[in-house]
Structure 1
């Protein structure tokens, strides 16, 4: 299976402006993410950005970068444009959409996102983590996977929600938004308009489920640290610098 890891990155973060270039232990954050993607050993790694500064930073540290349109509404659209630019002949079979704000992510977690595509019935692979914090079970900022187990480490996603679900006794799972796409699934997804439930929950992945695509989630042990605020950035610095 030919795999391309694309890391969408834009400078226009509202809570942490200039986030991709934030310094962590002497390197921009986007470079840390690209380094970890490369360490996964899955395939070619490219930063997809609308910012020449981000592209220059990635290239200065030995990574590929591709420029994309400034008007994309989602990372999926940016990833699809980058794919068309990098592989117009359609040789790449699978694409991993890895967010550019996960500088401490374990390369094994990136590998886990691709694992569900071993099943030819699966269109999109993603990740889940069992929720252990009681507060996270009820907060709307933590997206939950409602899924049916297909193995001890994998769920077939039936729904994603900001509500506390499913009801009753049993584990709840936090969705980690890293996606491994079959090429045909990504092409179909970006051709669709926003769906009703996608708009209602503000969750892009519901568009795929409403269109009949299958998403399976591999269960991993911890949620990667996403850097959205100055406080998150300090935590990432402390982790990488060993403080």
Structure 2
């Protein structure tokens, strides 16, 4: 299989404009993400796909590969789909541009899901412990079947605790995805479904169209740069 990592990178983030160009140690956030993805050694190619000349120049001037989007896109999935349309590739991993601490282990688990030829989409999850996180609508929960295929994703506590004896674990969905090329292209042509609109979770579009999402459990604690406060936390972690 030819496996590539695509990093969708939008400049004008609503909560923290230009966050990908913020300095983190001796590099910008987007360069940390790009270099970390390359360093995993998992991918035949790593590409940033962006709407910004500034981000494009930041990546390419330091020896990286970037592609300019031709259209305006609402989501990273749409941005990636446009970029891979004419690429010779089997599996595409969507690496979030605002997560600079890329690690090999969780991404390797994600990639290995596609050793099963029936898997069309893969993603990651980890066990949750804090009840505040479970009740938070910003923390997306997922439940799976015995094959580790997602049954549902929700912003509500999932599953509901009707039986306090069993205590099924809560799993947090980590929004890192991998797709077979044609499955992602199909996804961008489907209209948003009722559940996707209700929960504001685009991954539900796959489930509503009968496409399973195979999950892998990891312990990785991802750090996303969504606010200036997140950047300060990242600087401390970097040391």
Counterpart-to-counterpart distance in 1, 2:14 and 2:234: 19
SS at match of 2:84: helix
Equivalence for 2:156: 163
Segments of structure 1 that go 5 or more residues without pairing to the other structure are none
Counterpart-to-counterpart distance in 2, 1:101 and 1:128: 18
1:36 deviates by 1.0
Counterpart-to-counterpart distance in 2, 1:112 and 1:35: 19
Aligned residue pair count: 233
Counterparts of 1:83-122 in structure 2 under 5 Å? 83-84=84-85, 88=86, 90-122=87-119
TM-score scaled by length of structure 2: 0.94
Deviations 1:100-146 (A, max 9, x none): 00011212222222222222221101000100122111110000011
Segments of structure 2 that go 5 or more residues without pairing to the other structure are 162-166
The list of structure 1 runs, each at least 4 consecutive aligned residues, that deviate by more than 6 angstroms after superposition, is none
SS at match of 1:105: coil
Counterparts of 1:87-236 in structure 2 under 5 Å? 88=86, 90-150=87-147, 155-168=148-161, 169-236=167-234
TM-score scaled by length of structure 1: 0.93
Give the RMSD, CA atoms, in angstroms: 1.2
Which sits farther off after the overlay, 118-127 or 105-114? 105-114
Deviations 1:11-46 (A, max 9, x none): 111111101111001211000001111112122000
Deviations 1:61-102 (A, max 9, x none): 221000003520110000011112xxx2x5210000111000
